[in-house]
Amino acid sequence: MRLIPKDEGFFELFDALGARIAKSAGVLDQLFSEPNRMDFYATQIKLIEREADDITHEVMNRIDRSFVTPLDREDIHLLATSLDTVVDLIDGTARRALMFNVTDRREPAKALSGLIKRSAERIAEAVKTVRDSKAVAAAARDIKVIEEEGDAIYSDAVGALFRQPGVDALEVLKWKELYDNLEHALDECEDVMNVLESISLKNG
């Protein structure tokens, strides 16, 4: 008798994680648009991050109790943790901005957060089509272009920090770390798409 893989709601949970990525990235973009409301936005992101953690834990619980799964167990685990990591990095960036008491809007930070938002929205779309290798590949290409744009913005922003005359060293260190965090989150979006693309090719 052939065992039929059961969904066990895994795809709905992936969709829910994708939605949390898009939502947290949208709030992060607002945070760098309106730093005067930093505390409010950082709190909202923390709530979303906790929801993502709960969803990820539920994925792990379902892996443990499922005899047969619709995707390889390792792939389910890797995809869930990769998606959750993006939300964790977004939350970490918001925490840093709050800790550093950021009060001024800086265009490079806003540009990078905007790219994270675009990537996150594309991930949320791609997760829904995980078994469609062509759709996932198209999303991966889009995010690769966004990530390259982010690399250029990051390099210019960090270079400008160190070229500014008479700037307080602590300000330089503060913004360098924030730019690092933003770039890391954007890089992780590309890593998620690499995971999705690998899974879609095996199961498409």
Residue 6 has pLDDT above 60, yes or no: no
Supply the CATH classification number for the domain 10-203.
1.20.58.220
* Backbone phi, psi, residue 169, to 5°: -60, -35
Give the Cα separation of 193 and 73 in Å (integer): 18
CA atoms within 13 A on the CB side of 43: 4
Confidence of residue 7 (pLDDT cuts 50, 70, 90): low
Q: What is the mean pLDDT of the chain?
A: 93
Give the Cα separation of 1 and 125 in Å (integer): 36
Percent of the chain past pLDDT 70, that is, above it, reads: 96
The least confident of 21-25, 76-80, 119-123, 131-135 is 131-135
Classify residue 153 by burial, with Cβ atoms within 10 Å: 0-12, 13-18, 19+.
buried
Task: Show me where the domains of the chain are located.
Answer: 10-203
Confidence of residue 2 (pLDDT cuts 50, 70, 90): very low
- For 123-176, how does the pLDDT look when each residue is reduced to its tens digit (9 = 90+)? 999 999 988 999 999 999 999 999 999 999 999 999 999 998 877 889 899 999
pLDDT of amino acid 3:
38
Confidence of residue 8 (pLDDT cuts 50, 70, 90): low
Residue 54 has pLDDT above 80, yes or no: yes
pLDDT of amino acid 39:
96
Q: For the residues of the chain, what is the DSSP string, one character each?
A: -PPPPP-TTHHHHHHHHHHHHHHHHHHHHHHHH-GGGHHHHHHHHHHHHHHHHHHHHHHHHHHHH-SS-SS-HHHHHHHHHHHHHHHHHHHHHHHHHHHTT--S--HHHHHHHHHHHHHHHHHHHHHTTTT-HHHHHHHHHHHHHHHHHHHHHHHHHHHHHHH-TT--HHHHHHHHHHHHHHHHHHHHHHHHHHHHHHHHHHH-
Confidence of residue 4 (pLDDT cuts 50, 70, 90): very low
The least confident of 25-29, 69-73, 125-129 is 69-73
Residue 100 has pLDDT above 90, yes or no: yes
Average pLDDT over residues 176-203: 95
Residue 32 has pLDDT above 70, yes or no: yes
* Backbone phi, psi, residue 72, to 5°: -55, 140
